[in-house]
Amino acid sequence: GAVVSQHPSWVICKSGTSVKIECRSLDFQATTMFWYRQFPKQSLMLMATSNEGSKATYEQGVEKDKFLINHASLTLSTLTVTSAHPEDSSFYICSAVGTPKNIQYFGAGTRLSVL
């Protein structure tokens, strides 16, 4: 099956610093990738949709200047949490769709802890 790699799996940072999370589709070309956030014991909440070569589309309530998304190639999308604060601590998960687009394949997730 399709494999999506997400890195790092766990990151701890100081408040005010920026953190970059990478999402790669290893064995297929992902024209579209998605970024989710999941708080403890809650469901996944879609943050943004990223299409290769174009600006990401953010869901309502998600700050685009705080969560920078870049989808520079068909196999890589990055999420940068800028000036992270403790309330940004969460589990961030990416997914990717290839062709056909009806199945999202998910990465293993990144646990972000902001001190």
Partner 1 sequence: LAKTTQPISMDSYEGQEVNITCSHNNIATNDYITWYQQFPSQGPRFIIQGYKTKVTNEVASLFIPADRKSSTLSLPRVSLSDTAVYYCLVVNSNSGYALNFGKGTSLLVTP
Residue among 3 and 83 whose Cβ is closer to partner 1: 3
Identified binder of partner 1 from the candidate list 69, 95, 112, 114, rule CB under 8 A: 95
Going from the C-alpha of 37 to that of each of 34, 69, 87, the distances in angstroms are: 10, 14, 12
Positions in 35-64 near partner 1 (CB under 8 A): 36, 43-46, 49, 59
Task: For residues 107 and 4, give the distance between their C-alpha atoms in angstroms, rounded to a whole number.
Answer: 5
Answer yes or no whether residue 26 interacts with partner 1 by CB under 8 A. no
Residue among 82 and 104 whose Cβ is closer to partner 1: 104
Q: Are 78 and 108 in contact (CB under 8 A)?
A: no
